[in-house]
Structure 1
Amino acid sequence: MTAPAARTARPQEPSKARATLVWIGLAVLLGGAVWLADARWDKLPGLLTQGWKYFQLMSEGVLQNPFTEPWSGYWTRAFDAMMESVYMAWVGTLVGAVLSIPFGFLAARNVAPQWAVQVTRVVLNLIRAVPELVFAIVIMLPIFGFGPIAGTIALGVGAVGTLGKLTAEALEGIDPGPVEAAQASGAPRSAILRWAYWTQVLPEVLAFWLYRFEINIRASAVLGIIGAGGVGTLLSQLFSKRAWDQIGITLLVIIAVTLVVDWISGSIRHRIISGGAVRKDAGEREQDKAEVAL
């Protein structure tokens, strides 16, 4: 008599004590961080008034006719500085991409021996732990001096840590079938690495490179503030002179160029990743058209 009742009894609701304690701990950590920040929270409402004032000052330059002097010169100067940042990001990404390939192979557990994997991963972790700004200040500026070369090399070295790790993870996730087939056929080690490993991860790695290029564009603007070239150098000069009209023009150029580059890079990344599916769908549509015509 008791067995059917036990089977139909409502299951006991799981305890929420652990989740509640976690949320309480997070709230305590957040409150402690806010308190230790020692920020002047009473100044926060002033952002509505002071921020609007600076926005008006920057808008004065943006709303001027860009084809008249001196405004045309300001727009040209801002665009040239922004393009220098784009060039820095592009060359830095290429440097990081090339250097990350051997690091990625050495950090992949299914490619390199265990001792090489451990050493390479430690090196990549150390590179990722140091921001590009520190690379530029401590190493690049003393060697190359002020200018875009120091910023470009700093971006390239900083990209090695991230791209090397992502390349290693992509290599570890490949299909082992082609590798086993190449080994069974007696292919040399270099051919296996080139055609069985690298060919499988190349589309994904190219997408990583393009994404890193987008990140480097933003990082190059920050590096320019310390004199490492690019639009950041121009912004630091304008802020020192409090030339708000030119600052507004420069910020608008930064936003516009960044959005355009992000859109182009995102389109290319999407095409690389889903290119096979796109070509397959196009081929199927052409085949369907041919069958309908017949």
Structure 2
Amino acid sequence: MSTITPPRAPGRSFTPPPAPSKLRETIGMLAVTLVFALAVVLADANWPRLLEAPAVLGEFVVLMTQGVLQNPLEAPTNEYWTRSLELMIESLHIAWIGTLIGAILSFPLGFLAARNVAPPGVVVVVRQILNAIRAIPEIIFAIAIMLPIFGLGPLAGALAIGVNSVGTLGKLTSEAIESIDTGPVESARASGASRWQVIRYAMVPQVMPEVVAYWLYRFEINIRASAILGVLGAGGIGSILSALFNIRAWDRIGVTLAVIIIVTLIIDAISGSIRHRIIHGAAPRGVRRRRALTPEPPPV
């Protein structure tokens, strides 16, 4: 069977377009590779020690696991677990208070940093303040401001975490406000509502689910930050962990790390479930009941 070729315009010949040049991409990749190689050479690191790292790490893991596998009901292991759990709860308190401080202060600042709410001059000033706060780690706030004023203890850690949380939560809140549906806002304005009434009844209900989810996520981050600040003497689980590393008490270090990991996983699971319910909503009661009564399919 013969194929039919489409007719060509008289006097014209088909020429394929030239292939795009990859010279620029190739030069860029070679430049990045060269910079990386120079960084490795100029780092002046003891690279042979890197080969010893797995064996050393495995030895430390074995020593810490021995402490975790001891009977938690016998002395002195029960004291290790009890003390670690008490300090972990203190770290949770520090993270929770810091998150509350950040949430309370960042919520109004988020409206002042939103372009669809505040004047342009106010937006620029507030956003620069939030950027400056966000650029400074909480450990700097603790060392430079909170610890000299309030001394060693959980109060300094909670305040440092709270101030640092303002920068991130304020930025996320302003972005949530700027992305709201304008329909309810225009309807409220058309009905004669004042500016504050528009914010209260048309904006706040839209942004609250997303903002609360941000607060919960920041709480998870602050739990880890509170453990780090404890090394500086700001209370919490980090204080005992720093002392244990100084004396190389690997069995107690294993127990302490186990408490941190277990509590953090529990908090992450609970917080993630709450965030999912806030954002996506709960399933209707009939759907939940059908899911509960429907048997799981057998594994394949």
TM-score (ref. length: structure 1)? 0.90
Following superposition of structure 1 onto structure 2, how do residues 73-84 of structure 1 map, counting pairs within 5 Å? 73-84=79-90
SS of residue in 2 equivalent to 1:226: coil
1:247 aligns with 2:246: no
Q: 1:79 to 1:3 in 2, by over 3 A?
A: farther
Taking a change above 3 Å as real, the CA distance of residues 35 and 164 of structure 1, as seen in their structure-2 partners, is farther
Q: Are residues 27 and 243 of structure 1, via their aligned partners in 2, closer, same or farther at CA, if it must alter by over 3 Å?
A: same
Deviations 1:68-107 (A, max 9, x none): 0010000011111111111111111111011001110011
The separation in 2 between residues aligned to 1:275 and 1:238, in whole angstroms, is 44
Q: Quick one: distance in 1 between partners of 2:117 and 2:286? A: 34
Hey, what's the Cα distance between the residues in 1 that align with 2:185 and 2:286? 28
2:79 aligned with 1:52, yes or no?
no
Alignment match, 1:71: 77
Residue 146 (structure 1) aligned to one of 149, 152, 160:
152
Matches within 5 A, 1:232-271: 232-271=238-277
Q: Which protein has the larger Cα radius of gyration, Structure 1 or Structure 2?
A: 2
Q: Between Structure 1 and Structure 2, how many residues are aligned?
A: 283
Residue 32 of structure 2 corresponds to residue 26 of structure 1: yes
Deviations 1:107-157 (A, max 9, x none): 111110000000001100100110000000000000110011100001100
Which residue, 20, 25, 46 being the options, matches 1:40?
A: 46
- Give the partner amino acid of 2:197: A
CA distance in 1: counterparts of 2:112 and 2:34, whole angstroms = 42
Match of 2:297 in 1: none
Residue 113 (structure 1) aligned with residue 123 (structure 2):
no
Q: Of 17, 22, 38, which residue of structure 1 is paired with 2:23? A: 17
1:266 is matched by which residue type in structure 2? Answer: G
SS of 1:218 mapped into structure 2: helix
Code of the residue aligned with 1:135 in structure 2: it is F
- How far residue 2 of structure 1 moved from its aligned partner, in angstroms, is 6.0
Match of 2:94 in 1: 88
The answer to whether the aligner puts 1:207 opposite 2:180 as a matched pair is: no
Match of 1:101 among 90, 107, 114: 107
How far 1:235 moved relative to its partner?
A: 0.3
How far did 1:30 drift? Answer: 2.8
Distance 2:134 2:246 in 1: 32
Give the distance between the partners of 1:170 and 1:34, measured in 2 at CA. 42
Q: Which moved more, 1:149-158 or 1:45-54?
A: 45-54
**SS where residue 108 of structure 1 aligns?**
coil
- Hey, what's the Cα distance between the residues in 2 that align with 1:139 and 1:37? 34
Q: Superposition pairs for residues 111-190 of structure 1, below 5 Å?
A: 111-190=117-196
Q: Distance in 2 between matches of 1:179 and 1:24?
A: 53
- Using structure 2 for the length normalisation, give the TM-score: 0.88
How far has the Cα of 1:7 moved from its partner?
8.5
User: What residue is the counterpart of 1:288 in the other structure?
Assistant: none
**1: distance between equivalents of 2:159 and 2:13?**
69
Q: Distance in 1 between matches of 2:256 and 2:84?
A: 5
The one-letter amino acid paired with 2:107 is I
Distance of aligned partners of 1:248 and 1:127 in 2 relative to their CA distance in 1, 3 Å threshold:
same
Query: Any stretches of 5+ residues in structure 2 without a counterpart?
Result: 1-6, 291-300
Give the partner amino acid of 1:158.
N
Farther-moved stretch of structure 1 (30-39 vs 148-157): 30-39
- Give distance in 2, aligned partners of 1:143 and 1:54: 38
Q: Which has the higher helix share?
A: 1
**d(CA) in 2 for partners of 1:158, 1:256:** 26
Gaps of 5+ in 1: 286-294
